[in-house]
Amino acid sequence: MTAEYRPGLRGVERLNAKSVADAEATHLRRHGLSEWPETMAPQRETESVAARKRIADLLWYSVPSSDDTEAKSITADLLDNLIAATRDESAAELAAVRAERDEARKLNAALDRSLDDVIKDRDEYHEVADKLAYAVAPEEVIGEHSSMNCPWDNALDLITPMAEVDRLRDDLAKYAGQEPTVAEEMAELARRLDDVHHVCDEAEHNSLRWEHPLPVPEWVAVVREAADGMRPPGEDRRADAIQYGIRIPDGSVLNGTVTDLVEQQERLVRYRDCYPEAVLVQRTVRHGAWTEATS
């Protein structure tokens, strides 16, 4: 073999680290492994030596040398150097991959912890929001959480805006300290009762001022009793009937069971022939419940 023949050297130069790494990965997959265990190191070494020998047998004849022995020696040295460089590069790449894997594991662990914190915070905020919502209104008013209902929104709708609260406070401040005292309220009540009595007196006067007095309206006596607090509690205040009578000068009331006003007015005209000062009077009649008569 002459020194001028060099086409095979370019082929050796093209045998790069990736090709060796791919070949080693193929051997690992064949054994179902991700990396070589210690127990398989001898077998791996034997296979590597056999593979190097097969490659050397294919390449040595294209290596420039003085004889075949030298060509084979140079080829062996070239392959040994290539394998060593490839192993160094593979080890560095593997270390980098393992470092990235470890960093990814750390990142995943940190993300898991962060997710746990987010879930915990979410649950705490959910609980606080529920407390606030149900402090505004009970569950019967704002409901429960569902796909069709949000008690938080319902509670928010019920809350009076701060601007409205301020306006109401301003309105309240206008009347603060202006409430009447008990004495003032009693005086006002007495004034109103006096007005009620005055109305009753005026109605009675208007009925009796004529030469032939008219019956005093029924409501006068009822209102006076109510104004004076004389009506018993729980009393049936509805009148069953009004009876009309004729009062003569000695105070007696004649025909006091008549309920027909016109009839009694006509009778009053006749009575005044004997009792010129006779007047027409009336009374409210309230009947009790019917009970069985005793023999």
One domain, residues 12 and 86: yes
Residues 68, 70, 71, 77, Cα dihedral to 10° = 150
Same domain, 57 and 98: yes
Q: Please report the DSSP string for 112-141 in residue order.
A: HHHHHHHHHHHHHHHHHHHHHHHHHS-HHH
Which residues are CB-contacts of 267 (< 8 A; sequence separation ≥ 6)?
Answer: 246, 255, 258
Q: Are 235 and 281 in contact (CB under 8 A)?
A: no
pLDDT of residue 17: 44
> Between 244 and 22, whose confidence is greater?
244
Q: What is the pLDDT of residue 236?
A: 53
pLDDT tens digits along 63-93: 676 677 777 777 777 777 777 777 777 778 8
Query: What is the predicted pLDDT for the residue at 132?
Result: 92
pLDDT at 8 over 50: no
**Model pLDDT, residue 127:** 93
CA 63, CA 51: separation in Å to the nearest integer? 18
* Structure-block tokens of residue 256: 């006091």
Residues 11 and 35 in one domain: yes
Question: What is the distance between the alpha carbons of residues 78 and 142, in angstroms, rounded to a whole number?
Answer: 84
In whole angstroms, give the CA distance from residue 65 to residue 60. Answer: 9
First to last CA, the chain: 164
Write down the pLDDT at residue 205: 84
Q: What is the pTM of this model?
A: 0.32
C-alpha span between 14 and 144 (Å, rounded): 73
Answer yes or no: do 17 and 84 share one domain. yes
Q: Is residue 13 scored above 50 in pLDDT?
A: no
Please state which of the ranges 98-107, 154-163, 211-220, 267-276 shows the lowest mean pLDDT: 211-220
From residue 247, how far is each of 210, 222, 273, 278 by CA, in Å?
Answer: 16, 21, 14, 6
**Is residue 233 situated within a structural domain?**
yes
Residue 295 located in a structural domain? no
Question: Do the domain assignments include residue 257?
Answer: yes
Question: What are the tens digits of pLDDT across the range 152-187?
Answer: 999 998 888 888 888 888 888 877 777 777 888 888
| pLDDT, mean over the chain | 77
Domain count, the chain: 4
Dihedral sign (CA 181, 184, 189, 192): negative
Same domain for 167 and 257: no
Structural domain including 224 reads 181-237
Eight-class DSSP state of 144: -
